[in-house]
Amino acid sequence: MNDEIFDGKTFQDLTKDIYDNATEKRNQIKILIKEMNKMIKSIDDVVILAPIVKEYLEVGVKNDEHLVKLASVLQRIYVKSKSSDDSLSLTEKEKEELMITLQNTVDEIQREGDKWGS
């Protein structure tokens, strides 16, 4: 699992990124909540700030879900490719399905990134 999967990233790098993202997001949420508490003076403030926080949290969760999906696909490919049992080797149909799943996941990540970046 030390093989490069893209742009200098290995499977281990990807799983570390997933863990680091979750940890960083948890810390960012704690900081955001502390800062919001200082800003909230009325119910109107909550009405304004809550949708912003909700969107921020949803995008973060979706990004993590995409990374986990990608890791799952890569793990399946890795396990199948390292198996010595021919019955577990990938058929052409399985390879195609994995590639479609991988491409769909990458496309979803890109769309979410574009949406968040704009």
For residue 95, give its domain range. Answer: 8-117
Whether 52 is covered by a domain: the verdict is yes
Structural domains counted in the chain:
1
Query: How many CB atoms lie under 10 A from the CB of residue 37?
Result: 8
For residue 113, being part of any structural domain is answered with yes
Q: Is residue 2 part of a domain?
A: no
Greater pLDDT, 23 or 106: 23
Q: Is 112 a domain residue?
A: yes
Residue 103's pLDDT band (cuts 50, 70, 90): confident
CB 39 within 8 A of CB 45: yes
- The pLDDT-based confidence of 117 (bands split at 50, 70, 90) is low
Whole-angstrom distance, CA of residue 55 vs CA of residue 48: 12
State the pLDDT at residue 107: 77
Question: Is residue 16 in some structural domain?
Answer: yes
Q: Please report whether residue 27 resides in a domain.
A: yes
d(CA 1, CA 36): 42
pLDDT in tens, 49-99: 888 888 877 877 777 787 787 778 777 777 777 765 554 466 778 777 777
Please check whether residue 17 lies inside any domain of the structure: yes
Using one digit for the tens of pLDDT, what is the confidence trace for 12-47? Answer: 887 888 888 888 888 888 888 888 888 889 999 888
| pLDDT at residue 85, as a whole number | 56
In a domain, residue 101? The reply is yes
